[in-house]
């Protein structure tokens, strides 16, 4: 099968943070399929960017073909971000015939978060007689409206809403990381022709990674265990949407229980949280630099509890799929899941605590339950999570489900 993924923010190992699209593509190639990924030349999700001039860059990593399209960079401002989005759309429209000719796909998977490339992806699918699949990881524009507070009548919101309607009406099926996506689409009168729920996951190669003994982050985490009975850790972007404030709110009570809080990562809220910890004398709160993707599991294995949080939002009733959840499970770290959502992964795996109404009181109650466990019981809890992740959420497993879903949606090959 010849598979074309279109994902504005897709990455590859040399550029950091490859995540879902790359891992799925790599496993599909290993299964004997031909896979191409179309992506922008510049994305904030990468550590570094490919060197792309004024023409598309065709290259290959681990058997996966890439086409990086010339796209302007951007900073924190919305104007530069929009310039990047529309720059990618222009490059994609300009290159679509070349992409269709070189890849001749049997299936086109439109996997860009903001959906806007769907019109060109549909054109490629029609010209090649290919199946068209829409991969939904967020429910745009609803997610954007809730996160930004933008009006339903904002021109960009209207544009994204139109793209979503186009995607749902013209695609042969939807694959979503969100368990409630199909119900949501039906509720707005856009019934998918076919639907598959396939979560994010973890790369099995990470299970074999060894820790970098010279890592300051690793040394710092190890030192915490000399001073504290338990370390609650958070690894990932430290932003507004991650709702790590609850850990800072609870820090004095956690200190009374001889529990430390460790943040590993960067993000727009990191400096503000560091300043708060300093002003409020939260001496059991520590901040560490991020580590490379290959070092995530070796490093977070030194957490006693792994925190997953998110601002309470109505959109979460349709489901969530945080990558860090699967990282914690793969590292045998019990999970403190503080998002109100219909997902029941932690409960199904019996690998931690799910808090449907996260606040300081409910968080402390969960921590007290953990403190009451014996060392063996804590270890068994973490091991259940790892076993569940290996069985259900490694990318070889997810790729097999993905391929089956593509075939159910009409893809040949």
φ/ψ of 39, rounded to 5, equals: -145, 165
Same fold for the pair 2-201+394-408 and 204-392 = yes
What's residue 354's pLDDT?
Answer: 93
Mean pLDDT of 285-299: 90
Residue 128: closest CA among 102, 100, 93: 100
d(CA 337, CA 194): 30
- Which of 240-244, 281-285, 314-318 is least confident? 314-318
The H or E element that residue 86 is part of is helix 78-103
Mean pLDDT of 164-169: 85
pLDDT score of 226 more than 80: yes
Percent of residues in the chain assigned helix, strand, coil, to nearest 5: 45, 15, 35
What's residue 341's pLDDT?
Answer: 82
Put the strands of the sheet holding 195-197 in their side by side order: 57-61, 64-69, 34-40, 2-6, 107-110, 131-136, 173-176, 195-197
CATH of 2-201+394-408, one of 3.40.50.150, 3.40.50.2000, 2.60.40.1080, 1.10.1740.10: 3.40.50.2000
Residue 185: closest CA among 147, 134, 119: 134
Question: Does residue 141 have a cis bond before it (omega within 30 degrees)?
Answer: yes
pLDDT score of 374 more than 80: yes
CA distances from 89 to 27, 48, 86, 114, 281 (A): 28, 21, 5, 11, 48
Residue 22: closest CA among 201, 174, 290: 201
Q: Spell out the residues 6+ positions from residue 149 whose beta carbon is closer than 8 angstroms to its own.
A: none
3-state per-residue secondary structure call for 301-353: CCCCEEEEECCCCHHHHHCCCCHHHHHHHHCCCCEEEECCCCCCHHHHHCCEE
pLDDT score of 358 more than 90: no
Looking at mean pLDDT, say which of 275-289, 313-327, 336-350 comes out highest.
Answer: 275-289
Mean pLDDT of 120-138: 95
The H or E element that residue 231 is part of is strand 230-235
Cβ 86 vs Cβ 58: under 8 Å: no
DSSP calls for 105-165: -SEEEE--TT-TTHHHHHHHHHHHT-EEEEEESS-TTHHHHHHH---TT-HHHHHHHHHHH
Cβ 323 vs Cβ 19: under 8 Å: yes
CA distances from 318 to 63, 131, 158, 172 (A): 35, 26, 21, 22
Residue 230: closest CA among 212, 216, 250, 211: 250
- CA count, 13 A, side-chain hemisphere, 132: 20
Residue 301: closest CA among 264, 336, 332, 334: 332
What percent of the chain is modeled with pLDDT above 70? 99
Q: Give residue 79's Cα distance to chain centre.
A: 24
- Which of 122-131, 167-176, 237-246, 360-369 is least confident? 237-246
| Cβ neighbours of 30 (radius 10 Å) | 13
Q: Is the dihedral of CA 311, 76, 150, 17 positive or negative?
A: negative
Domain boundaries, the chain: 2-201+394-408, 204-392
pLDDT score of 88 more than 80: yes
What's residue 254's pLDDT?
Answer: 98
DSSP-derived pairing of the beta strands 230-235 and 195-197: unpaired
Q: Spell out the residues 6+ positions from residue 392 whose beta carbon is closer than 8 angstroms to its own.
A: none
d(CA 236, CA 323): 9
Q: Give residue 363's Cα distance to chain centre.
A: 24
* Region label for 236, one of left (φ > 0), alpha (ψ between -120 and 50) or beta (otherwise): left
CATH superfamily of 204-392: Glycogen Phosphorylase B; (3.40.50.2000)
d(CA 192, CA 369): 42
């Amino acid at each position: 099968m010849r598979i074309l993924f279109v994902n504005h923010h897709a990455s590859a190992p040399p550029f950091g943070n490859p995540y879902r699209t790359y891992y799925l593509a790599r496993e599909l190639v290993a299964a004997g399929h031909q896979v191409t990924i179309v992506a922008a030349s510049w994305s904030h999700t990468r550590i570094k960017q490919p060197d792309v001039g004024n023409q598309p860059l065709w290259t290959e990593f681990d058997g996966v073909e890439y086409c990086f399209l010339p796209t302007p960079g951007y900073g924190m401002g919305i104007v530069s971000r929009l310039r990047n989005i529309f720059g990618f759309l222009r490059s994609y429209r300009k290159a679509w015939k070349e992409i269709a000719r070189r890849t001749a796909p049997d299936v086109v998977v439109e996997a860009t978060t903001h959906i806007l490339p769907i019109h060109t992806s549909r054109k490629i699918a029609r010209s090649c007689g290919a199946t068209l699949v829409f991969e939904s990881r967020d429910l745009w524009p609803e997610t954007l409206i809730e996160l930004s507070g933008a009006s339903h009548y904002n021109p960009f919101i209207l544009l994204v809403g139109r793209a979503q309607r186009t995607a749902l009406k013209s695609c042969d099926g939807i694959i979503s990381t969100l368990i409630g996506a199909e119900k949501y689409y039906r509720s707005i009168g856009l019934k998918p022709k076919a639907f598959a729920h396939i979560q994010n996951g973890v790369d099995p190669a990470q299970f074999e990674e060894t820790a970098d003994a010279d890592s300051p982050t690793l040394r710092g985490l190890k030192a915490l265990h000399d001073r504290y009975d338990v370390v609650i850790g958070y690894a990932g972007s430290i932003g507004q949407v991650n709702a790590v404030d609850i850990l800072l709110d609870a820090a004095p009570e956690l200190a009374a229980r001889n529990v430390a809080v460790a943040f590993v990562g960067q993000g727009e809220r990191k400096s503000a949280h560091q300043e708060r910890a300093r002003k409020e004398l939260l001496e059991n709160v520590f901040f560490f630099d991020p580590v490379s993707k290959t070092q995530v599991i070796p490093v977070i294995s030194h957490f006693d509890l792994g925190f997953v949080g998110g601002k309470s939002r109505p959109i979460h009733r349709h489901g969530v799929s945080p990558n860090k959840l699967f990282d914690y499970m793969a590292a045998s770290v019990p999970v403190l899941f503080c998002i109100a959502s219909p997902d029941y992964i932690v409960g199904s795996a019996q690998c931690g605590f799910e808090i449907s109404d996260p606040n300081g009181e409910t968080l402390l109650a969960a921590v007290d339950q953990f403190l009451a466990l014996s060392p063996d019981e804590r270890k068994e809890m973490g091991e259940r999570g790892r076993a569940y992740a290996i069985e259900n959420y490694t990318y070889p497993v997810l790729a097999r489900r993905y391929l089956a879903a593509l075939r159910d949606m009409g893809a040949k090959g």
